[in-house]
Chains A and B, each alone.
Chain A
Amino acid sequence: MIKQKFLSVAAAVGVALIVSACAENPSTETNEKATSAVHVSQQVEKSCMGCHAVDQGGKLERIESVRKSPEGWSQTIARMERTHGLTITDEEREQLITDLSRERGLAPEEAEKVQYWLANKPSYAEPDPKNESVAQSCINCHAAGRFEAQRRTEEEWKNLKDFHLVSYPSIYLNHRHMDWPQEADKAIEYLAKNYGVESKVWDQWKGNEYDVSGKWKVVGFQGTKGFYLGESEFTKADDRYSEKKSVKFLTGQETKQLNGDMKIYTGYMLRSHYKQNDHKINGFYNVTSENLIKGDWSYKEDLGISGEETYYKVQTENPEIIHSEPRAWRKGSVNKVTFYGMNLNKLEEKDLNLPKGVELTKLTAVSDEQLTAEVKVDKKAESHMFVINGGQAAVHGKFTVYDQADYLKIEPSYGVSRMGGAGPMDKMSIQYVAYAYSHGKDGKKETEDDLKLGPVPAEWSLLPYPEGAEGRDDRPYIGKIAADGLYTPSVEGVNEEREFVQENVGSATVVAKAKVDGKELTVKSHHITTVPDYVNNIH
């Protein structure tokens, strides 16, 4: 706790320490500017050239040596404003982000790996950086996504070391368990090799742009509420879109209407802002082809209320299955399955190439968008995950044949919620979901061939952490878990009721119990409720 607090304090102080060093001295590179092509855009030239000159190579210093996501550019510009004295209007800021992301952005392949960071997914367990020095020296203050979502020249990677040491000289002390400058050199060498500014995928992508106008079908999943289906239509106006979307949970009756305003950055990064009743929702999507959009959304006022969504372009030609419920089919039984999609009246049994031992015994059309089926799976069929090749039909998603449900896992496996909602800071809830798993072919738990069967309804509860620790039980203070797994933290600030800690922070063990295929399964995971994200320029 203390250690964590110190880090964030150090970072906060560090940020406050930065002083505007160069508000004066505007650039005098007007000759250069007149002779060379426009640097990124006219807006960039207007806003940035007061401090960023054109270098000997004819590039705009710093700016034309890096590539970033719209989120990355937005953070850099925010620092130019906050600590260096850049003054711009909201419209200018938006124009800068648009221009910079278009000219100096990330290719789809580059962005895919850091989608979790771009979407700021809550409680996401980032994979450990492959390089030991990066793991040692670069991820104690912010996520690896922060730099893995950038491409820079070798010199620009090197500049980061000086930037950090000048901005946050406390690094020498809060990283005293290592030699930070040395470790950072090694980390930077690795990053320069693997995240260089030049790339084929970018050269190929740059200049392309998708148009998403038209009608789409939506499949989504929100933890605690399950899968939902919806309809959407995008309308283009200038460089923006508006969207009307309606969605309905498979288990619910009510249809929700969302109205959104959105824009495509770098030709494919769709950033959406919705209103749904009183909620503001932000979406971070990628258009991955003419007929597919994939992404994540979260509430503006509570990042923990979030979901994943896929859009499929509406077409009238061929049958297309966009969701199936369930997608895990048990061996030795007849599985009742519902398929959702488009033009399903045209679907024939022969369209679906199923693996050996899996047989479609009945197919009934409910509507052009919904079919019910019976899928008989032989006892001896192979336990595995597969895709269905549909011939005429397109079938999205992966399917699983399994023996039995053997265990559960909770996601997130380490839940971090944040107090809030009492002052300017928002709270962050957690949507806990229990997933059923099968041991797979080898009959062993937690091995590569284990099969994830899907989310299951569970009974949720909290135990004190550490279990059995006498005199310590944070549960009465830190928040509550609802019947559907939604964890809501308590408010921030002083809690008069609580001795010593005096705030609603702490830990608990989350327990999920579920009956799957007639079997009682239980699993535990760790939960913390911590302070709000006060230093929110560090992610």
Chain B
Amino acid sequence: MIRRLVQLFIFVFPLLILSAVPAGAAAEKYTERVFISGYGQIIVVDPAAPKIAASIKVKGPVRDMSFTDDGKTGLFLANDRKSLYVVDTVQNKIVNEVNLEARTDQGLLDRRVWGSAISPDGKKAYAFVTQGEKRRSSFKVHPSKIIEIDLKSKEELRSVEAPYGTHVLQFKQNDANTLFVWGYDLFELDLKKMKLTLRQGIKHPKNEKDGIGNYLMLFPRGENGMNSIPLMKEYPDGRVTEGIMWMNRESGTIKTLEYDREPVGMFSAVVDKEENYAYTTLNKWYKVDIKSQKIVKESVPPNGSLYGVNLSADEEKVYYSGAGNEFIIANKELEVEKQLVLPTDTLDLKVVKIEQ
């Protein structure tokens, strides 16, 4: 995976640093950091330079990343989906590790997390787990569930059974009592009553004529208030379309668009706050005008496929990472401006405003 361009970077890299403009963020009250899920480490990037601000060692590839409202604490899933790491994002230090494996009277309860979120105040973590009991000479599957963990005592407080296929948990904006639960369909978890209800059918839509939606939200967005993901839809007449689905995290309203192109299989998408444009990535980069549902600009990643696209905190730049060992800053016309070599291959990137 570490590809040919690595060599090239060695020459370009010093130039990039020289030409980097110092951060303008100081004028505002936050520090912008990009958290990139690497292999065996969380890579923290200061995008203003750009440079690697820190590299936080964890076990195995990093999966989910979620943050408190103030951005000062992050929750990271790693260790083959078995451990949640609580990270102080100001000091870039691990402050807590919660391992979710458990024992049963017949063996080990192997629990893997597919979707986790830290509460806005940083006191609790929520995790959707699949559960497999590993007995002496056989394996037994147990129902999957969402568990609530007290981060101080590391104790499991409550839990609720949840449908398999779930893979993203995300808090409703400005509402610490509601978790959006993304799986084959969208559910909502009322944390007061610990009750899960269907919010919207996506794989199982109310009306199949609206198309059966299929997405894999390994790259959830939402730090800017909009969670977004590429969506494939299959219609009863066999037609398959590709587009974007996004949700306003405050209102919970979901919108979708379908661009008029052969599906190519995009991995992630980001929608700006104003809902003017969306950006998608994999083997190609698209910029989509949301009103007209048209691809208004397209380009090709410079060094090969990239999984993750995100927007800078001020929404002036487009950031890419995921797949290879690179972080790319492009302008909104999809022209590459800066590239940074990372210590490992990567999966995704999150842009966080850390309050000062």
Q: What is the interface of chain A, defined by CB distance below 8 A to chain B? A: 2-3, 13, 16-17, 19, 21-22, 25, 27, 51-53, 61-62, 159, 161-163, 165-167, 169, 172-173, 176-177, 181, 494, 496, 500, 502
A177 vs B203: C-alpha distance in the bound complex, in angstroms? Answer: 8
A27 vs B137: C-alpha distance in the bound complex, in angstroms? Answer: 10
Which residues of chain A are within 8 angstroms of B32 by Cβ–Cβ distance?
none
Contact B214 A176 (CB under 8 A): yes
Say which residue of A2, A61, A162, A494 sits within 8 Å of B141 (CB atoms). Answer: A162
Q: What are some 19 contacts across the A-B interface (CB < 8 A)?
A: A17-B80, A17-B81, A21-B107, A22-B108, A22-B134, A22-B135, A51-B136, A61-B138, A62-B137, A163-B139, A166-B132, A169-B114, A172-B130, A173-B114, A173-B165, A176-B214, A177-B214, A494-B4, A502-B304
Contact A162 B140 (CB under 8 A): yes
A247 vs B184: C-alpha distance in the bound complex, in angstroms? Answer: 59
A159 vs B137: C-alpha distance in the bound complex, in angstroms? Answer: 11
CB of B167 closer than 8 Å to a CB of A? yes
A-B CB contacts (within 8 Å), total count:
86
Q: From residue B146, how far is it (CB to closest CB) to chain A in Å?
A: 15
Q: From residue B107, how far is it (CB to closest CB) to chain A in Å?
A: 5
A370 vs B184: C-alpha distance in the bound complex, in angstroms? Answer: 68
CB of B305 closer than 8 Å to a CB of A? yes
CB of B216 closer than 8 Å to a CB of A? yes
A500 vs B305: C-alpha distance in the bound complex, in angstroms? Answer: 9
Contact A496 B133 (CB under 8 A): no
CB of B201 closer than 8 Å to a CB of A? no
Contact B136 A25 (CB under 8 A): yes
Residue of A52, A166, A177 with highest tally of chain B CB at under 10 A:
A166
Q: Which residue of B lies closest to A494 (CB)?
A: B4
Which residues of chain B are within 8 angstroms of A165 by Cβ–Cβ distance?
130, 132, 141
Contact A51 B137 (CB under 8 A): yes
Say which residue of A22, A167, A169, A496 sits within 8 Å of B107 (CB atoms). Answer: A22
Contact B3 A21 (CB under 8 A): no
CB of B112 closer than 8 Å to a CB of A? yes
Contact A166 B134 (CB under 8 A): yes
Contact A166 B141 (CB under 8 A): yes
CB of B13 closer than 8 Å to a CB of A? no
| Chain B contacts with A in 272-328, Cβ cutoff 8 A | 282-283, 300, 304-305
Residue of A61, A162, A169, A494 with highest tally of chain B CB at under 10 A:
A169
A502 vs B108: C-alpha distance in the bound complex, in angstroms? Answer: 43
CB of B252 closer than 8 Å to a CB of A? no
A531 vs B217: C-alpha distance in the bound complex, in angstroms? Answer: 27
Say which residue of A2, A17, A21, A27 sits within 8 Å of B135 (CB atoms). Answer: A21
Contact A17 B134 (CB under 8 A): no
A177 vs B216: C-alpha distance in the bound complex, in angstroms? Answer: 11
Q: From residue A45, how far is it (CB to closest CB) to chain B in Å?
A: 14
Contact of A52 with B114 at beta-carbon distance under 8 Å, contacts A172-B164, A502-B304 already known: no
Contact B4 A496 (CB under 8 A): yes
Say which residue of B4, B108, B265 sits within 8 Å of A2 (CB atoms). Answer: B265
Contact of A169 with B130 at beta-carbon distance under 8 Å, contacts A62-B138, A494-B4 already known: yes
Which residues of chain A are within 8 angstroms of B4 by Cβ–Cβ distance?
494, 496, 502
Contact of A159 with B108 at beta-carbon distance under 8 Å, contacts A16-B80, A176-B214, A502-B304 already known: no
Contact B107 A162 (CB under 8 A): no
What 0/1 readout, one digit per residue, does chain B (143-170) give for beta carbons within 8 Å of chain A?
0000000000000000000001101000
Which residues of chain B are within 8 angstroms of A163 by Cβ–Cβ distance?
138-139
Contact B137 A52 (CB under 8 A): yes
Which residues of chain B are within 8 angstroms of A2 by Cβ–Cβ distance?
265, 282-283, 305
What 0/1 readout, one digit per residue, does chain B (202-225) give for beta carbons within 8 Å of chain A?
010000000000101000000000
B interface residues, tally (CB under 8 Å) = 33
Which residues of chain B are within 8 angstroms of A496 by Cβ–Cβ distance?
4
Q: From residue A179, how far is it (CB to closest CB) to chain B in Å?
A: 8
Which residues of chain A are within 8 angstroms of B167 by Cβ–Cβ distance?
173
A395 vs B216: C-alpha distance in the bound complex, in angstroms? Answer: 60
Q: From residue A294, how far is it (CB to closest CB) to chain B in Å?
A: 37
Say which residue of A3, A167, A502 sits within 8 Å of B139 (CB atoms). Answer: A167
CB of B242 closer than 8 Å to a CB of A? no
Q: From residue B47, how far is it (CB to closest CB) to chain A in Å?
A: 26
What 0/1 readout, one digit per residue, does chain B (170-212) give for beta carbons within 8 Å of chain A?
0000000000000010000000000000000001000000000
A-B pairs with lowest CB-CB distance, top 9: A166-B132, A21-B134, A166-B139, A169-B130, A165-B141, A22-B136, A21-B108, A172-B164, A162-B141
A392 vs B203: C-alpha distance in the bound complex, in angstroms? Answer: 69
Contact A500 B141 (CB under 8 A): no
A2 vs B307: C-alpha distance in the bound complex, in angstroms? Answer: 11
Which residues of chain B are within 8 angstroms of A61 by Cβ–Cβ distance?
137-138
14 more contacts with CB within 8 A, not counting A163-B138, A500-B300, are A13-B80, A22-B108, A22-B136, A52-B137, A53-B136, A162-B132, A166-B132, A167-B139, A173-B216, A176-B165, A176-B203, A181-B164, A496-B4, A502-B4
Q: From residue A469, how far is it (CB to closest CB) to chain B in Å?
A: 14
Which residues of chain B are within 8 angstroms of A176 by Cβ–Cβ distance?
165, 184, 203, 214, 216
Q: From residue B11, how far is it (CB to closest CB) to chain A in Å?
A: 16
What 0/1 readout, one digit per residue, does chain B (248-266) give for beta carbons within 8 Å of chain A?
0000000000000000010
Q: From residue A376, how far is it (CB to closest CB) to chain B in Å?
A: 56
CB of B110 closer than 8 Å to a CB of A? yes
Which residues of chain B are within 8 angstroms of A21 by Cβ–Cβ distance?
107-108, 110, 134-136
A318 vs B167: C-alpha distance in the bound complex, in angstroms? Answer: 71
Q: From residue B137, how far is it (CB to closest CB) to chain A in Å?
A: 5
Q: From residue A8, how far is it (CB to closest CB) to chain B in Å?
A: 14
Residue of B137, B167, B283 with highest tally of chain A CB at under 10 A:
B137
Q: Which residue of A lies closest to B216 (CB)?
A: A173
Q: Which residue of A lies closest to B142 (CB)?
A: A166
Which residues of chain B are within 8 angstroms of A51 by Cβ–Cβ distance?
136-137
Contact A169 B112 (CB under 8 A): yes
Which residues of chain B are within 8 angstroms of A161 by Cβ–Cβ distance?
141
Q: From residue B243, how far is it (CB to closest CB) to chain A in Å?
A: 17
Contact A166 B214 (CB under 8 A): no
Which residues of chain B are within 8 angstroms of A502 by Cβ–Cβ distance?
3-4, 304
| Chain B contacts with A in 105-131, Cβ cutoff 8 A | 107-108, 110, 112, 114, 130
Q: Which residue of A lies closest to B133 (CB)?
A: A166
Q: Which residue of B lies closest to A20 (CB)?
A: B134
A374 vs B214: C-alpha distance in the bound complex, in angstroms? Answer: 66
A61 vs B135: C-alpha distance in the bound complex, in angstroms? Answer: 12
A53 vs B136: C-alpha distance in the bound complex, in angstroms? Answer: 9
Q: From residue A7, how far is it (CB to closest CB) to chain B in Å?
A: 13
Q: From residue A21, how far is it (CB to closest CB) to chain B in Å?
A: 3
Contact A169 B132 (CB under 8 A): yes
Q: From residue B305, how far is it (CB to closest CB) to chain A in Å?
A: 7
Contact B265 A3 (CB under 8 A): yes
Q: Which residue of A lies closest to B80 (CB)?
A: A17
Q: Which residue of A lies closest to B164 (CB)?
A: A172
Q: From residue A35, how far is it (CB to closest CB) to chain B in Å?
A: 21
Contact B137 A53 (CB under 8 A): yes
Q: Which residue of B lies closest to A165 (CB)?
A: B141
Which residues of chain B are within 8 angstroms of A172 by Cβ–Cβ distance?
114, 130, 164-165
Q: Which residue of B lies closest to A19 (CB)?
A: B110
A173 vs B165: C-alpha distance in the bound complex, in angstroms? Answer: 6
Q: From residue A427, how far is it (CB to closest CB) to chain B in Å?
A: 21
Q: From residue B347, how far is it (CB to closest CB) to chain A in Å?
A: 11
A16 vs B110: C-alpha distance in the bound complex, in angstroms? Answer: 13
Q: Which residue of A lies closest to B215 (CB)?
A: A176
